[in-house]
Amino acid sequence: MKVHHGLHVIEKYLSDQRKLKLKDFEPQFENIFKRIKKFKEIRRDTKILEVGTGVGWFPILCKKQEIDCEGLDICPEFVDYAYVFGRMNGIEPNIKLANIEDEEIGLSQYDIIIALSTFEHVEYWHKGLQKIYDALKPGGLFYFYSTNRFGLRQVEFNMPFYSWLPNKWRYRIRVARQGEEIMKLGIDFNQFNHFQLKRFFKKLGYEKVLDMFDIIEPNNLIYKQWWKNIALKLGKKWKIVKMFGLIFSHGTTFICIKSLKTS
């Protein structure tokens, strides 16, 4: 994908985001940090990169805690608003306009890399995930959240079983409803499934590839619902429940840890 300026498709999203305050994002931020800290210590000298910052709440909250977090996003309007949002809260974030498919993010640069609801929108996702693996230091951690093709609920588009459709069908529906601009920014090029991603992460070379049942504790749900609590507890005990959960969960959640050994 290329960087595009002045697209109308992001106007509604931004108008909704402008209604939110930084404190509205704090519970999600704290839960993500709790999950990461289960596997890796976060200190003030920990170097973090977020791929796909949106309105920038994650790098802003990192800086508020005096943690070094860089960010990149492909949307100029998101990057511009992230700086406005940061300054509204007395913080100057470090966010760059860039596409992970093309941007050079270096080798062995970061302790932690985050991608939240990003890679469904990355057309050449294999390339982007390879860059992230290469940019992690030995022992580095990648926190990944994205779509799940067979999820019983999804937010990309309000249509029953939308995510189950072949890619070309989904693209045609979105263009028909939202115009050609959606293919420049906002389209979900990819609807992943857990097993597809797990295979790819292992192929990249991660030493550990952990799923949501490894990562999430019942008291560490971002959106707390009683049935999710029960499902997590049962999935940690019974393989059949875990399998069902991984296939039909709302999204795909992974923590991938790179080996300390260098090749």
| Domain boundary assignment for the chain | 8-257
Looking at the chain, how many residues does it have? 263
Q: Give the pLDDT of residue 263.
A: 56
pLDDT tens per residue across span 146-164:
999 999 877 889 899 999 9
Per-residue pLDDT, averaged over 51-70, amounts to 97
Q: What is the pLDDT of residue 153?
A: 79
Instruction: Report pLDDT digits (tens) over 166-203.
Output: 999 999 999 999 999 999 999 999 999 999 999 999 99
pLDDT at 2: 83
**What mean pLDDT is reported for the chain?**
94
In the predicted model, is pLDDT for residue 17 greater than 70?
A: yes
Question: What is the pTM assigned to this prediction?
Answer: 0.95
With 0-12 / 13-18 / 19 or more C-beta atoms within 10 angstroms meaning exposed / middle / buried, residue 180 is: exposed
Q: What is the pLDDT of residue 261?
A: 83
- At 116, give phi and psi (nearest 5°): -110, 115
Domain 8-257 has CATH 3.40.50.150: yes
